[in-house]
Structure 1
Amino acid sequence: MMTAKYCPRNEIKKLEMDIWELKVKGTDLVSYTQRFQELALMCGRIFPEECDKIEKYVGGLPDMIHGSVMASKLKIMQDAIEFATELMDKKIRTYAERQAKNKKKLGDTSRNNQNQQQQNKRQNTSRA
């Protein structure tokens, strides 16, 4: 019975496939960036130039920030990471503020409805 040999080339191929399929999950940019950097370090030969690495990194970003990072045409990987992080933080903050504002509006609306219902009850009682 023959046993399969460990082949580092197959491992590298798998890592290269991982980096091409890598995308941000939800808004977890930190995990994406960390995994991207690990894979890019292990598969350095697939990014002969810094701009190639940046292009691949930006390609895995969510649509909500992808265009802005792409348009910035950054030349250094660290700058791309920092800019993407800044944009993602801003988007998350804006979303949270919007949610809080909507929740407050909803609370105000339900309070107004309760007041209106109580006024209607009082009017109906006085009529009777």
Structure 2
Amino acid sequence: MAPRRGTRTRTKTRTTLALTTTNPAPATTNLAPATATTPMTDVAIRTLIAQGVANALAEQSIQRNTTLNDDGSQGFGSGIVRPVRPTRECTYNDFLKCQPLNFNGTEGVVGLTQWFKRMETLFYINNCVVKNQVKFTTCTLHSVALTWWKSHVNIVGHNAAYDMPCKTLMKMMTTKYCPRNEIKKLEIEIWNLKVKGTDLTSYTQRFQELALLCGRMFPEVSNEVEKYVGGLPDMIQGNVMATKPKTME
């Protein structure tokens, strides 16, 4: 008698399961091929460390960067708010600490020029405001120079005397205390002054010194500019004139 169809199917299934359990399929793995590791040199390590430090410092600098608030205070990345300190105005004591030169009125052109230079230097390094420059300058006058200044104050008045620009004072003193024959020599020098080689700095400095002492040669600013440009090398003279300069600055 033939077995029923259902019995034959169950027998076949059990046989397949048994075979699967007895002989499992080999597992497959995807292993990356082994690579050789190259050891880092001391130079490479130091480079990485230096780069890390630089990045950290840059980040810290950004966080601590100062910003100006609407109220005029300074806000920092740390959250601290500090007021902005205004630049301190130069006082007369500050001016005296720099040991300014005195001027008596008998030093001649060289002495007057040195005095001018010293005053300009002190005004610059002390951040001396314009309104105080004539006041501080005239405090260094002695002897006949002081007598001359006091006489000028009596004539024009205190306010007019001390409110004028310091450059005007220097021109007045040049007219008063530089002998005419010495001024004539300086006028000849500035008339023939030209740039030597490519030393434009020395030319400019000397021209400014002479122009200050030879003010009558340049009744207008345009005259001074024209003479200065005339002493420049041909290669740059045209370029300067093309800008149409109106002042020495």
TM-score range normalised by the length of the shorter chain = 0.5 to 0.7
Which residue number in structure 2 is paired with residue 111 of structure 1? none
Gaps of 5+ in 2: 1-107, 109-177
Any residues of structure 2 matched to 1:1-128 within 5 Å, and which?
Answer: 8-78=179-249
Task: Give 1:114's aligned residue.
Answer: none
Distance (Å, rounded) in 2 between the aligned partners of 1:52 and 1:68: 18
Rounded to whole Å, the distance in 1 between the matches of 2:180 and 2:216 is 13
C-alpha RMSD of matched pairs (Å): 1.5
- Largest Rg, 1 or 2: 2
3-state SS in 2 of match to 1:53: helix
Inter-partner Cα distance in structure 2 for 1:46 and 1:76? 16
- Letter matched to residue 217 of structure 2: I
The number of aligned residues is 73
Q: CA deviation at 1:72?
A: 1.4
Looking at structure 1, the residues matched to 223 and 242 of structure 2 have their Cα atoms a distance apart, in angstroms, of 15
Indicate the percent of aligned positions where both proteins have the same amino acid: 75
Once the two structures are superposed, residues 69-118 of structure 1 have per-residue CA deviations (whole angstroms, 9 ceiling, x without a partner) of 1121110111xxxxxxxxxxxxxxxxxxxxxxxxxxxxxxxxxxxxxxxx
1:65 CA displacement: 0.2
**3-state SS in 2 of match to 1:30:** helix
Which structure is richer in relative contact order (CA contacts within 8 A, separation 6 or more)? 1
Q: Distance in 2 between matches of 1:29 and 1:56?
A: 15
2:186 and 2:209 map into 1 onto residues whose CA distance is 10
Deviation >6 Å, runs of 4+: none
SS at match of 1:77: coil
Report the Cα offset of residue 59 of structure 1.
0.1
- Quick one: distance in 1 between partners of 2:207 and 2:199? 12
Write the letter of the residue equivalent to 1:10. N
Higher helix residue share:
1
Q: Look up the equivalent residue of 1:61 and give its one-letter code.
A: L
Quick one: which amino acid aligns to residue 57 of structure 1? Y
TM-score (normalizing by structure 2): 0.28
